[in-house]
Structure 1
Amino acid sequence: MTRDIRITDVRITPIAFRDGPLLNAAGIHEPWALRAIVELETSDGRVGISETYGDEPMLRVLAQAKELVLGLSPFDLNRMEERVRAAIRPGPGAVEFELAPGSHTAKNAAKVTSTFEVAMLDLQGQLLGAPVVDLLGGAVRDTVPYSAYLFFKYAEHIGRPYAADAWGEGISPAQIVAQAQRMIDAYGFQSIKLKGGVFEPAHEIACMRALRAAFPGLPLRLDPNANWSLETSIRAAPELDELLEYYEDPTPGLKGMAELARHTRLPLATNMVITTLDDFRKGADTGAVKVLLSDHHYWGGLRVTQTLARMCALWDLGMSMHSNSHLGISLMAMTHVAASIPNLTYACDTHYPWQEEEVILGGRVAFENGAVRLPGTPGLGVELDRGKLAELHAQYLACGVRNRDDLAQMRKYDAGFPGRTPRF
């Protein structure tokens, strides 16, 4: 009987993989991105997997939470969530970035819940012989579209910890267009997003104009990561109104976004000012945000993501998904839940093209015309490559990075880098 099967072991393996010198509002990515691979083993020998944040504070929280799922059935999602909410609290030690809600310790319970939920759904699918999307109500699409995610970047990391990536420098409009062309050629993306908030707005708008000229049929997005003041965001609006699909988090706070909404024809999008249900209520009251980028890692899981989608439908908001540096397990979890959401109105974000390494059997997840096809196999449809897991864990042990700190990394290039936001 499947109800007699219990979770008997929890394994947490921190990993590090190469990450490019990608610039953003906070600074620059470190050479190594951190993730944690979580395995839940059952009494009948099955293993469900999940991928989450791998910084030191998150690893401490996961270690604290291990005991909470032992003895549960993989189907006991509600009981797991109750236990996590009762036991897990915000804690010290994390570097919290406003541009990265997943770094916030206030979201510890949601992050742990999501991590366990994905692995338990993977187990459920294995037990029932069904893909995770079927456990979420079934697929409304067979493929999930993703967007080309462009970054301003340096050619290589300071100190040259390993060979430079093949993308090269991405600073000028021509270089950004070349980056987009390379990504579209490799993955077939049908929309383009540029991570902004790095250079003067005039330069970033020039890059968007160059992208529009090079790719006249593709929707464009610009995300200044709240690094533009309200005044700057309003001043940029007339030009961007002619270029963008939506205007993502140019200025801080719901109040600023609400005022900006009065000065642009574009829908405003966010993954920064709405990251909790209380934020959603406040945002709905202002009417400022028209597109919500969810993220199952810090919202609390795949089922909560479906709830958010229903709320977006009720309030007539568009829906997409946020991303940070991740591997194939996270990508497949995103794909399953996105395939179950009728009102996924925009292609999802993904950093996946920037990651060269992988931890799943068979290597990299394939894209078709910018989309990931749902696997028909049970659970998430991916399995761990034990050899690769060991390699990436060894990189974690050797790399010396334990907490993401884009500001400290940027000050290795520019000791006077201010780090304040908004800067422009």
Structure 2
Amino acid sequence: MRITDLISTQIAIGDPPLLNAAGLHAPYALRIIVEVVTDQGFVGLSEIPGSDRTYKAMEELKPHLIGMDVFQFNAIKNLIREKLGGVEDSRGETPWDQRLLVHLFSAIEVACLDCIGKKLNKPVVDLLGGRSREKVPFSAYLFYKYEGAGGDLGFEVDHDQSGWLKARQEEALSPKQIVSQARAMCEEFGFQSIKLKGGVKPPEEEYECILALREEFGPNVPLRLDPNALWSLKTATKYGKKLEGLLEYFEDPVRGQEEMGQLAKRINIPLATNMCTTSFEDIPQSIALESERIILSDHHFWGGLRACIELNRICHTLGRGFSMHSNSHVGISMAAMVHLGAAVPHLDYALDTHYPWQVDEVIKGGKIKIENGFVDVLEGPGLGVELDRDQLQRLHQQFLNSGLKERNDEIEMKKVDPQWEFKLQRW
């Protein structure tokens, strides 16, 4: 089964004004929908973070991928390295990963697996080794935010909404407002664990938020805090000690493996990362420094679904916990996450997902359901989702209208506060 065409479509999906260490989310998040077309009529889907750089690289690869066998992942990976291996390809210092080659290969691999699953009439989870579980757990993902819903609504609130649709539009800058956001999200989706995106407010205020969440939800709901490496070692030590007994894990409070390793020796909270250990080459140093106890994988950033299966086995062998990181996405990436989450033998923590924050969808039938904090393994061949062509076109036009070419949270934040600047360490 060989590739006869590769179609990449840039889309923009509405994204609320969520705050993080790098600034403020734009009214739209950018994604690229990838379709691998084969000579047997099967079309495989995937989805990756969108930027002009990634889109142009995918278009550059297209003529070289035509004729490749969808089963030959090693040959496809070698081709990508050969054609684009000379590009500067670092993770960058933002909360999101900016490497190019792993993005590209993950997109092609997922779409090829979707094709193979459709040909064999098997779900992707079966191509990854089969089901380790029938339902995949997800965690609530809270954000400090300004009032607004993103997309066409911009910073205006539709006061006729209720429940989570209303809560996702409301301001959340205080502990009380964060608790209200958490309550609405958990009531809607049944989440049984909660993560707060930190690095936004002074550490004392974020600590107060965690206390407020613990008081509201009690000791049986695990809590997580992610300052996105914005705290100094001194600050993380001070508040880490105060957070002992409150957190399930502490995600990237400081920057880099060395500081994470030092912090791990000073506080009694498991440290997790998707910023300091982000590739297989990072793992030996991670083990030597004991920089974290939990690695948050992401098939977009680790080089695909099969790479994450390999990472899962390495983590288990080395005594490290395993879960998954997320970014703003639609249903194709959500489906891939579910298949991966169902397949990995050792899933130690509920997965992150931004999915409740996005209203736009590109798959038929609307958004994938999250019930009682779980997503059922998707039935049907391949990923188990189909493109809604009308929605794809609408979201592509939304991309064209948005004028956005890449994600830049600092630029968006400066529209609110012209004096604001991104800092590698803020507190």
Scaled to the shorter chain, the TM-score interval is over 0.9
The DSSP-based 3-state class of the residue aligned with 2:122 is coil
CA offsets 1:153-200 (integer angstroms, 9 cap, x no match)? 000279964643732001111110110011111111110000000010
Question: Which residue does 1:422 correspond to in 2?
Answer: 425
Amino acid at match of 1:290: R
Map of 1:2-151 to 2, 5 A cutoff? 5-89=1-85, 91=87, 96-101=92-97, 103=98, 107-151=99-143
* Superposition misfits of 4+ residues, deviation over 6 angstroms: 92-95, 157-160
The structure 1 residue matched to 2:204, chosen from 183, 202, 207, is 202
The answer to whether structure 1 residue 226 and structure 2 residue 229 are counterparts is yes
Give the Cα separation in 1 of the matches to 2:311 and 2:337. 14
How many residues end up aligned between the 2 structures?
A: 416
Q: Tell me, yes or no, if the aligned pair for 1:95 and 1:404 is still in contact at 8 Å.
A: no
TM-score between the two structures when normalised by the length of structure 2: 0.94
Matched residue of 2:212: which SS?
helix
Q: How does 1:155-194 map to 2 (within 5 A)?
A: 155-156=147-148, 161=154, 163-164=156-157, 166=166, 167=168, 168-194=170-196
Q: How many angstroms does 1:288 deviate by? A: 2.2
Shift of residue 42, structure 1, vs aligned partner: 1.1
Bigger mean CA deviation after superposition, 91-100 or 35-44: 91-100
Q: Is the 8 A contact 1:118 1:301 kept in 2?
A: yes
Work out the CA distance in 2 between the residues paired with 1:271 and 1:357: 26
Shift of 1:92: 6.8
* 1:90–1:108 CA contact under 8 A, matched in 2: no
Q: How far did 1:109 drift? A: 1.6
Paired residue for 1:318, among 297, 318, 321? 321
Residue aligning to 2:378: 375
1:57–1:94: 8 Å Cα contact kept in structure 2? no
- The Cα shift of 1:95 comes to 11
Give the equivalent residue in structure 1 for 2:162.
none
Amino acid at match of 1:312: C
Amino acid at match of 1:113: F
* RMSD across aligned positions (CA): 1.7
Q: Distance in 2 between matches of 1:235 and 1:269?
A: 18
What is the TM-score of this pair, normalised by structure 1? 0.95
8 Å Cα contact 1:89-1:108 kept in structure 2:
no
**Secondary structure at 2:322 match in 1:** strand
Q: Match of 1:215, as an amino acid?
A: F
Is the Cα–Cα contact under 8 Å of residues 68 and 80 in structure 1 kept in the other structure?
A: no
CA contact (8 A) 1:327 1:352 kept: yes
Change (3 A) 1:302 1:93: closer
Pairing of 1:203-352 with structure 2 (within 5 A) = 203-216=205-218, 217-352=220-355
The Cα offsets for residues 291-330 of structure 1, whole Å up to 9 and x where unpaired, read as 0001100110000001110110111000010011001100
Unaligned runs of 5+ in 1: none
Identity of aligned residues (%): 46
The 3-state SS of whatever aligns with 1:164 is coil
Deviation at 1:249, TM superposition (A): 0.3
